[in-house]
Structure formats: C-alpha cells, structure tokens
C-alpha cells in the first residue's frame, strides 16, 4: 500500500505519492529533529499534484535554537497561494539560524477538510 505520510515531507520528488496527506485535519503540524544542530537560512515547500484546496495558506515555522529553552518563531506566512501543481516556493529567513529542530505548523489551508 502506498502511503502519503509525513516522512514524505523532506523529499524533492514528483512521484504522485511523495507528499504528505492528512485526513480530516486541515491544520496539521510536524517537527523535524536533527541529530546535530544544522544551520538554516531558507526552506521550501511544494504544492501537491491533485487538490489545490489542501495546500497550506497560513503557517508558522518555529525552531529550537541553542541556548533558548522555548521554541522561537523564525518565519510566518499569512496568505500564500500555490498557483500550480508541484509548484515549489523557497522562503528566505531574516537571518541564519542554528537549530536542533524545526516545527512547521499549518494554521490554515486553502479550504479543504484534509491537508
């Protein structure tokens, strides 16, 4: 059985099942933890190949940063639109962050009951 699960979030693929699908939840979140801290200055998201209404529209990216006990907001998007299937968008951060983990929290999608 082919699964469209959260492990697919880090792939850069155009295979029709290499995407993250969440049933009955339009606002999921996911945390990626790294074995060693990594430096990030940007991140990318890509729309899927089927239901544009499931694409993220509003989200925030938080990170656990060295010497900070609480996650820190490092990027926020308030109204993004993906105009085509497999559209990749790169989001530059205001500064470089050295992170132990990042959490992507979708606050609103483009209108579907699923994500």
pLDDT in tens, 18-59: 788 999 999 999 999 999 999 999 999 999 899 999 999 999
Q: Compute the average pLDDT of residues 74-92.
A: 96
User: Which three-class secondary structure state does DSSP give residue 67?
Assistant: coil
Q: Are the C-beta atoms of residues 34 and 99 closer than 8 Å to each other?
A: yes
pLDDT of 5-19, one tens digit each? Answer: 777 777 666 776 778
Q: Which domains does the chain have, with CATH numbers?
A: 29-109 (2.60.120.260)
Query: How far is 3 from 19, CA to CA, in rounded Å?
Result: 9
pTM, two decimals, is 0.91
Q: Which of 30, 37, 39 is nearest to 5 (CA)?
A: 30
């Amino acid at each position: 059985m082919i699964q469209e699960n959260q492990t697919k979030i880090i792939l850069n693929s155009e295979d029709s099942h290499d995407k993250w699908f969440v049933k009955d939840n339009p606002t999921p979140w996911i945390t990626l933890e790294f074995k060693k801290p990594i430096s990030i200055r940007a991140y990318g998201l890509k729309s899927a190949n089927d239901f544009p209404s499931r694409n993220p529209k509003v989200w925030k990216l938080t990170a656990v940063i060295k010497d900070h006990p609480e996650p820190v907001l490092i990027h926020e998007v308030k109204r993004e639109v993906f105009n085509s299937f497999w559209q990749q968008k790169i989001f530059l951060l205001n500064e470089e962050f050295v992170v132990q983990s990042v959490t992507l929290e979708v606050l609103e999608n483009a209108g579907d009951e699923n994500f």
